[in-house]
Amino acid sequence: MDKPKVAFICIHNSCRSQVAEALGKHLAGDVFESYSAGTETKPHINQDAVRLMKQLHGIDMEKTQHSKTLSEIPPVDVVITMGCNVACPNLPNKHREDWGLEDPTGKDDEVFTAMIRGIETKIKDLSCRIRKRLV
């Protein structure tokens, strides 16, 4: 059986969704495939997120990821929106949920670290639910 494909969606695909894609690959790559995308793109992944992901997880997102639009990812089974407080486009899927994460851009490292730890917890929970076929 193919692993389900999970898309982490945020407006600019430059911070929260990028962190979720990286942590999904790192923590749950054996359970699901991770993708991220946005309705718009930024030229670079948020540098605070890049720096802290290197420090906390040894992951260099700039080496394996880039900001991309929804049309650049394959059809997915699960859509996770990050909590952008805007209407997200409708992507065909079997399951959709919103993680309601506040954008840490422009805030201090403590806020970024809390966001990364929150995503880490949610990735582990999602992985567990997918293993049990609850999603």
Structural domains counted in the chain: 1
Catalytic-role residue among 10, 53, 76, 123: 10
- Round the average pLDDT of the chain to a whole number and report it: 94
The helix-helix angle for 47-57 and 109-131 (nearest 10°) equals 60
Annotate 37-104 with DSSP letters as a single string. EBSS--SS--HHHHHHHHHHH---HHHH----BGGGS---SEEEE---SSPPP----SEEEE--PPP-
Q: Does 128 participate in catalysis according to the annotation? A: no
What predicted TM-score, i.e. pTM, was given to this entire model? Answer: 0.95
The whole-number average pLDDT for the span 14-38 is 97
**Looking at residue 22, which CATH number applies to its domain?**
3.40.50.2300
* pLDDT at residue 14 is higher than 80: yes
Range of the domain at 52: 5-131
Instruction: Mark whether 15 is an active-site residue.
Output: no
